[in-house]
Structure 1
Amino acid sequence: MLPHILTLDLGTAGCKVVVFSIKGEMIGSGYDSYPLCQQHAGWVEQDPKAWWASSIRASREALRNSKIDSSAIKVIGVTGQMSGIVPLDKKGSPLRPSIIWMDRRAVSQAERLRKHLGGKYLYEITGHRIDPAFFAVKAMWIKENEPEIFKRTHIFLMPKDYLRFRLTGLFATDHGDASGSMLLDLRKKDWSSKLLAELDIPLEKLPLLKSPNEIAGDISAEASRLLGVPINTPVTVGSGDAICATLGAGVSEEGICHDVTGTSTIASVCADEPVIDRKMRVITNCYGVEGKWLIEAPSSTSGAILNWFKDCFAGEEASIANETGRDVFELLSEEASHVKPGADGLMLLPYFQGERSPIWDPEARGVIAGLTLAHTKSHAIRGIFESTSYLLRDLIETIEDLGISVREVRATGGGSKSRFWLQTKADVTGRNIKSLKVRETSPLGAMILASCAVHYYRDTKEAIENVLKVDEVFEPDRSLHDLYSQNFSTYKEIYQRMKGIRFG
């Protein structure tokens, strides 16, 4: 019987479990959701026990749908949401709900950290800007607001590491997830003694650091029974979902950029050494490819703008979609395609929720510029597709400004379903855009790490060569690229002229 790999992907809305062949083919999948708890403004929590329950149900569903004998599962991979914090007691029981990445309660702690240590100082050690989203700032909040919980905490884990603990009993994390904690010395690949001392966080409360393609241990008898997989199946350490997604997109060398477009757009590349940007425009993580670091340029909104437009202005298209069974975004793409490139001078600034990279301006706002009475709804739709493509170009050029070349882009996420959008991105960026057979690449990245852990492949590069499958290549139209290059200059100028204005 051919070996298969089971991967658990602990997302924000639910747990997705996929059964892969060793060639990276999706044989079966399962999904189970869990709620967000938002008791106060800016607070977002989840119950770790709900994660575990969902992973059990999703695993059993994936195995049923795969129609293989469970004895074919030879290794388990793990990935999941990053930057959350899970305090556990000595028995491994959660002491409170997990404060996840979306939570913004620790604003005052982040600001105090910025004033006390300085953003540049922390960035040079960790490769990250100070933000309430990160694990370290959440730990500060717990220590100050729930001191008894902090005192009783035996270990703090990241979300996916809690799942692995339930599978194997091991308290550990990988260097990639740890580098998103704002407590890891990026160059040393170890917890920063300086930062732990400054924040008064005991080292013994942090998990053991391991490589993402290591075996963490074998699945326990209880977890084996609950998930329906063979006892003593090895479980890998794994890594965070953003890291695994880029790995699953085949980014293993310089020149390849991963564009994941969903609610926002993140452009990611790998480098031979940590990149510390003097302007702090990008963030750097340890990566799942040997001897490489992951450089990320994350935006705030892209697909969210298209979704906003659909909800506010596309009632007619939504009705047609319901009647015909077609996808509403496909209909919006068709409308946009009837407008000539450049949208007859209409342009958007896609900063509808402030902006992260490259400008890192929380006060930035969205702008629709160049409107005339001749413009229609279709022009606005095209403007959204074009402006979010300018955004991708801005992220790529920011990366290239750091000395990292980008020759091609591999697109994943919900935005990669739109052929019109991908062609627009190719025309705007002047680079080939490749869509992939497997669009949800976080589970695939976890599969790659797991396959290397049990030596199905020599290393991650060999695994990528065997499992990555390109669906379609979108080549840029050079004449349109020239047009878009002129418009891109205008796009950047709009922000420069608007950034001194504050609204509301």
Structure 2
Amino acid sequence: MKTWIGVDIGTTNVKATAIDETGETVAHASAACVTYHPKQRYVEQNPDEIYGLFVAVIQQVSEQLRHKNASIEAIGLCSAMHSVIPIDARNRRLTRSLLWADNRSEAQADALKTHPILAKLYPQVGIPAHPYAPLTKMVWFREQKPAVFSKISRFVSQKEYIWYRLFGKFQIDYSMASGTALLDNRRFRWSALAMDYAGINASQLSDLVPTYHQEKLTQRSLAKQLGIPVGTPFVIGAGDACLANLGSGALETGVTTLTIGTSGAVRQTAATPARDPQQRLFTYVLDETHYVSGGPTNNGGNVLEWLSKHLLLKDTSELLAMAESIGAGAEGLLFVPYLLGERAPVWDAHAYGSYQRLQWQHTQAHMARATLEGVLMNLNQIRQIIDSQLNKTRILHANGGFTRSKFWVQLLTDIFNTPVRVNESNESGCLGATLLAMKSLGKLESLEAGVHQYVRFADTYHPDPSQTKVYQKAQREFVKAMAVR
């Protein structure tokens, strides 16, 4: 039996999934990541710990495959985007990895927002000015840690760090590079404008390679440690936002993906990059002919966790049941979910959350309903911007932990007034990495063919007209509430 492995190097978990040639999952492993918060606004991980988890999940999957007498054709990589690790001249890391959620560079992002360079930079790189972008963190090192900055030989992401440990090469795929705010993503080269602003040069960034780039693992000791044959091809793959779109089957015009895990995102794939005049959308590279544009939210499933642990003190299943007992619109109660600042659609790290129009009759159940509605209406704002810049959404492909709740998915359908198709598997990043690997090795003629053959769906939900009418009005009120922050 021939198998293909996709590895998703996330910030919550590192996961590996093997599928056979029919698309059936034949092996899976997952390991939880540890995140550090040494100071307020700081969010870090230890790159060596993440590498250890990467090794562990491949070991576990390869062991499962051995018991099934299965061979490994290739391993494709998916990774969370926007991490930053400074490396010295001896290729040693100088700090832990700064994650996308790390907001220490707020002041640098604020300065970029008002700098004249942004009018030229955004059309090149397609990334809004925000502390999630590695560009602003590089400027932070230069301005706030000059002693460290003087020792930095290069900046890398977690994925580049792992790739270097596997192959001894600093290489970055177009997709991960497009998330740095340093890549001219139409010309597939580092932006001189961005590098000059950061105070670095191209030698301090990894070599750019296509997302189909392969390297074969030739280190016998490492291959033995991973439990895979010497010469196994690794395909560098792409960033998680792009591979989630690919793995969820969202390549056709008018198909939009929505993911809610800890955070969330809405994205569309197109042949050209989106460039929102108001700079509210990102654009990442899947490959040279597929761009993924959209908006991420900081506030997804973590908002329900906050409600559970800090406010209502009930478990999430009880909160969902309470919310379901209340009618659409929560009797006028509105919730703006910006508990962790926000990326799209406002791109304001200083934004804050709030309940608005709170009155005597509102109960805990109303608060639960309004909280879920607020998260979804914020995502709907992002969807509307995408529709205006690319193509009108005709169907949503949904994945993430929230799809385990039929009530929550139906709520999404009603608020978006759009049919929702739920992916059978929530491992869209792993599957996307696998499809890229298959295309790289000639197993697939095109990514579209891979989607048709390997992406599967569970249930499809349709809007309830009586509910959507309520939410069309509520959405207009939510937009007004967003402005109060």
The TM tier, using the shorter chain, reads over 0.9
1:410-449 matches, within 5 Å, as 410-449=397-436
Taking the TM superposition and a 5 Å limit, the aligned residue runs for 1:46-445 are 46-66=45-65, 68=67, 72-89=71-88, 92-144=91-143, 150=149, 153-288=152-287, 290-315=288-313, 317-318=314-315, 328-329=316-317, 331-445=318-432
What are the superposed Cα offsets for residues 97-123 of structure 1, whole Å, 9 maximum, x if unpaired? 323323223334444444554433321
Structure 1, 306-315 or 188-197: larger mean CA deviation:
306-315
Q: What is the letter of the counterpart of residue 188 of structure 2? A: K
* Contact kept? 2:395, 2:418, Cα under 8 Å: yes
Correspondence for 1:459: 446
Which residue pairs with 1:479 in the alignment?
466
Shift of 1:74: 1.3
Offset at residue 139 of structure 1 (A) = 2.7
Look up the equivalent residue of 1:337 and give its one-letter code: E
SS in 2 for 1:306: helix
- Structure 1 contact 342–484 (Cα < 8 Å) conserved: yes
Aligned partners of 2:435 and 2:328: how far apart in 1?
39
Q: SS of the residue aligned with 1:298?
A: strand
**Distance in 1 of aligned mates of 2:177 and 2:100:** 14
Deviations 1:411-449 (A, max 9, x none): 111122211011111111111111111113111111111
Alpha-carbon distance, 1:170 to partner: 2.7
Q: Distance in 2 between matches of 1:281 and 1:268?
A: 13
* CA positional deviation for 1:383: 1.9
SS of residue matched to 1:27 = strand
Do the aligned partners of 2:79 and 2:239 also contact (CA within 8 Å) in 1?
Answer: yes
Offset at residue 143 of structure 1 (A): 4.2
Whether the 8 Å CA contact 2:131–2:349 is kept in 1: the answer is: no
Q: Can you list the C-alpha shifts for 1:214-262, whole angstroms capped at 9, x where unaligned?
A: 2133353232111101110000011112221122111112201110112
Alignment CA distance shift 1:219-1:448 (3 Å): farther
8 Å contact kept, 1:236–1:450: yes
Moved more, 383-392 or 107-116: 107-116
> Cα RMSD (Å) of the superposition?
2.4
Q: How far 1:179 sits from its partner (Å)?
A: 0.9
The amino acid of 1:291's aligned partner reads: T
Partner residue, 1:324: none
Does structure 1 retain, via aligned residues, the 8 Å contact 2:130–2:348? no
Displacement of 1:190:
0.9
TM-score (norm 1): 0.89
Deviation digits for residues 448-495 of structure 1 (CA, Å, limit 9, x no counterpart): 111111122112111111111011100111232122212222222333
Task: List runs of 5+ in structure 2 lacking aligned partners.
Answer: none
Structure 2 distance, partners of 1:33, 1:223, is 22
1:10: which partner in 2? 9
| Pair 433,217 (structure 1): closer, same or farther in 2 beyond 3 Å | same
Distance 1:395 1:138 in 2: 25
Structure 1 unaligned spans of 5+? 319-327, 500-504
Give how far 1:284 is off: 1.1
Q: Give the aligned residue type for 2:429.
A: S
Report which stretch shifted further, 279-288 or 144-153.
144-153
1-structure distance, mates of 2:323, 2:108: 45
- Bigger mean CA deviation after superposition, 17-26 or 243-252: 17-26
2:278 alignment partner AA: K
Instruction: Tell which deviates more after alignment, 358-367 or 264-273.
Output: 358-367
Q: Residue 246 of structure 1 aligns to which amino acid in structure 2?
A: N
- How far apart, in 1, do the equivalents of 2:475 and 2:329 lie? 10
Count, aligned residues: 485
